[in-house]
Amino acid sequence: MANEVVMFKKIFKKLKEVELKEKGFEKRYPLKRVSAFEKKEEFKKIFLEQGERNLELMQKIPNRAKNMAYFDEIWKLEKRVKEIEDFRKAGGKVIGTFCNFVPEELIYAAGCLPIRICAGFYETIEIAEEILAKDICPLIKSSFGFKLVELPYFSLCDLVIIPTSCDGKKKLGEILSDYLEVWPLELPNTKDSSQSKEFWFQEIKIFKKRLEKLSGNEITFSKLKKAIELCHLRQVVFHRFDEIRQSTNPLISGRDALLVTQVSFFDDLRRWTEKTKKLCQELTENIKKNLGIYPAQTPRLLLTGSPIIWPNYKFLNIIEEFGGIVVGDTFCSGTQHLYNPVEIDEWVMEEMLKAIAERYLLPSICPCFIESNDRIDNLLQMVKDFKIDGVIYHQLRLCQLYDLEFYKVKQILNRENIPLLRIQTDYSQEDIEQIKTRVEAFLEMIKSKKYEFY
């Protein structure tokens, strides 16, 4: 083992001498672009309507925090789109990201703006299917459709960074490269071997260099330190937010919590931190005033599995409108997005970069890695911390990785006597009735267990 490490170090040293290669897509066989630009206004309208329909339900929740008002507005494109357009006019670069692996600290340090463009919008799927295979997950199709229609925020991106976290994402990168500049970010298949860490560290270093070239700004020690500190502050606030959700008196719905988290995908970093801090203060006050949103005996659910993304909250709406509350999730589009801060031991450039690389690799519970143990640890810990009554496994159809991990998760949760429901669905509305029956039955099952009823 030790020998292997020495060997790899040697190899990487050599590689460094050769100069690290920037990965991208050659324009050897460029294809003609497909555009559905004419649908832009129509789709934008539908997008806003879908969001409004969610909000209508969410705003009816009693004792809802007043500080949600900011989040209720900011997703409506107009204000934030204008800000980002101004940022671009002033020469700023906007970088679209997928998944949970792209170091935002580096992007901010280069003076660029990261926006996560994973999408949860049904309407853009059909258009994307003209190009992408039908049998791939809705998230990829929906996100690609945003580019074809030129809807924000994808339409505002100067380039896109796609981690190689599943087969769909890998190929999406190449297809997208006909439309705009795409940088693949290559992930190792394991997280904790020294080879993997070293490999990933090199990826991060190349990424830094490319960002500097793109922006014309050198990522200096002080700029990076400042970016790390800013993101760290956001994470601290998020931790407080997460902690509040552990309260046995439910203070915030799962829908509100996820909306807050997902606004961070595109919002101004400082403003988001400030607004969420205020929200936390209000929620803390509400604990003292005993202002719960649902009865304390409401079944407490933990969501795991494939990401749920605004405005596709159909599943969350069903759960919470039928008497459950989502108090936690393990989604990469939820808690995982903001939970882990960069931890610095020593403030020197090399160490900072290492810490960044580690933050985006080690805590990940994405099923793209060969082992699922960390995810199961995380689940069991959350079941304890959040006093969970039942786990719901949200499975986006055609997401094989989450499908494959289900068996093990089920066996472990069964062993621990934790009720589990799997829902296989996509972004369409056609299975709502079936989902309702399953969710309602699951809630009845939990209630009868909790209160010996029925």
Partner 1 sequence: MNSIEKKSQIVAGIDVGSAMTKVAILETKEIIAQAMSPTLADPRLAVKLALEKALQEVNLSQNDLGFIVTTGYGRRAVEFGNQVITEITANAKGARFLGSPLGQVRTVIDLGAQDSKVIKLNENGEVIDFIMNEKCAAGTGRFLEVMAKTLDIKFEDLGEFSLKSKNPVKINATCTVFAESEVISLIVQKKKREDILAGLHHVIAKKIADLARAVTPKEVVFFDGGGAKNIGIKRSLEEELGLKIYVPEEPQFVIALGAALIASELLHANARS
Sites of contact with partner 1 (CB under 8 A): 414, 419-420, 424, 430-431, 433-434, 437-438, 440-441, 444-445, 448-449, 454
3-state secondary structure of 305: strand
CB atoms within 10 A of CB 368: 17
Tokens of 175: 């297809």
Minimum gap (Å) between residue 290 Cβ and partner 1: 23
Residue that is written with structure tokens 């190009």 in the block: 131
Minimum gap (Å) between residue 449 Cβ and partner 1: 7
**Neighbouring residues of 361: CB distance < 8 A, sequence distance ≥ 6:** 101, 187, 188, 191, 196, 197, 200
Minimum gap (Å) between residue 106 Cβ and partner 1: 44
Task: State which residue, 366 or 446, has the beta carbon closest to partner 1.
Answer: 446
Minimum gap (Å) between residue 421 Cβ and partner 1: 8
Task: State which residue, 150 or 444, has the beta carbon closest to partner 1.
Answer: 444
3-state secondary structure of 182: strand
C-alpha–C-alpha distance, residues 429 and 148, integer Å: 23
Helix segments in 290-364, DSSP class H: 314-321, 335-338, 349-361
Task: State which residue, 220 or 437, has the beta carbon closest to partner 1.
Answer: 437
Question: Which of 47, 52, 77, 70 shows the shortest CA–CA distance to 152?
Answer: 77
Task: State which residue, 167 or 431, has the beta carbon closest to partner 1.
Answer: 431
Angle (nearest 5°) at CA 337 between 211 and 187: 55
Minimum gap (Å) between residue 324 Cβ and partner 1: 13
Minimum gap (Å) between residue 408 Cβ and partner 1: 14
Minimum gap (Å) between residue 441 Cβ and partner 1: 4
Task: State which residue, 92 or 323, has the beta carbon closest to partner 1.
Answer: 323
C-alpha–C-alpha distance, residues 335 and 283, integer Å: 18
Minimum gap (Å) between residue 411 Cβ and partner 1: 10
Task: State which residue, 326 or 446, has the beta carbon closest to partner 1.
Answer: 446
Task: State which residue, 188 or 419, has the beta carbon closest to partner 1.
Answer: 419
Task: State which residue, 34 or 404, has the beta carbon closest to partner 1.
Answer: 404
205: left (phi over 0), alpha (psi -120 to 50) or beta: alpha
Minimum gap (Å) between residue 235 Cβ and partner 1: 37
Task: State which residue, 343 or 416, has the beta carbon closest to partner 1.
Answer: 416
Angle (nearest 5°) at CA 242 between 58 and 99: 85
Question: Which of 30, 21, 23, 35 shows the shortest CA–CA distance to 182?
Answer: 23
Minimum gap (Å) between residue 397 Cβ and partner 1: 10
HEC assignment per residue over 395-444? EECCCHHHHHHHHHHHHHHHHCCCCEEEEEECCCCCCHHHHHHHHHHHHH
Task: State which residue, 252 or 446, has the beta carbon closest to partner 1.
Answer: 446
Contact call for residues 34 and 224 (beta carbons, < 8 A): no
Task: State which residue, 248 or 437, has the beta carbon closest to partner 1.
Answer: 437
290: left (phi over 0), alpha (psi -120 to 50) or beta: left
Contact call for residues 115 and 96 (beta carbons, < 8 A): yes
C-alpha–C-alpha distance, residues 328 and 244, integer Å: 11
Tokens of 170: 């890998």
Instruction: Kindly list the distances between the CA atom of residue 209 and the CA atoms of 202, 206, 212, 222, 319, in Å, as whole numbers in the listed order.
Output: 11, 5, 5, 16, 45
Minimum gap (Å) between residue 438 Cβ and partner 1: 6
Task: State which residue, 352 or 413, has the beta carbon closest to partner 1.
Answer: 413
Minimum gap (Å) between residue 306 Cβ and partner 1: 17
C-alpha–C-alpha distance, residues 389 and 297, integer Å: 10
Instruction: Kindly list the distances between the CA atom of residue 422 and the CA atoms of 79, 92, 148, 407, 437, in Å, as whole numbers in the listed order.
Output: 38, 44, 33, 11, 13
